[in-house]
Each structure stands twice: as structure tokens, then as C-alpha cells.
Amino acid sequence: MCSVSDNTGGRGAMTTASISVQDLRRRLYVKAKAEKDWRCWGLYVPVATLATLRAAAAVAKEDNGAPGLDGVTFGAIEEAGVEGCLAQLRDELVARP
């Protein structure tokens, strides 16, 4: 289950880009179509933003997504608080070596 921490400083701190998820998807699509040999290596930071995680969670829930390897269901996440769980996930992604 999610345990929320308020650790927002230090190594877990992250700057957020002013780009929306929709805009990011469009830009990547256009770039990939224009340059067939181009590979994107800088997706980690945009993927680890709360906006992207919120959008991904909404899509997964809408598609009746199954629990992950940790066994946590959408019901359990909602019980614990969606924003807190997403913040914890973001912190774990950013802190990962």
C-alpha cells in the first residue's frame, strides 16, 4: 500500500517543465516521423512528472488496469489517496539511481 512521505527536497527534488502531456506526445510524434533514425533518450524527466503520472493512472484505470507487481489495486490507491500515491511514485522514480 502507499505510504506517503513529504520528502520534496534534496535528491528527490525535481523541476517540472511547462510542457503538457499532450504537447509532449505531439512533439515526440512529429520528431519521430520527421527523423526515422532519431532515438529519444531524455524521456525519464517528463515521464516522472505528476501530470504524466496522473494521465497514465487515468488511462490505466479507464482500461480496467490490473494491479502491478506490488499487487496494489486502484481501489487501494483511491483509499490511500491518489495524489499521495502518485507523489510517492514520483519520488521513488526521481530517487532511483
pLDDT per position as a tens digit, 44-58: 777 888 988 998 899
Pick from 56, 49, 92: which is nearest to 74 by CA?
A: 56
Say how many CA atoms lie within 13 Å of 37 toward its Cβ.
0
* pLDDT tens-digit readout, 49-82: 898 899 889 988 988 888 888 898 999 999 999 9
The whole-model pTM stands at 0.58
The residues spanned by each domain of the chain are 18-95
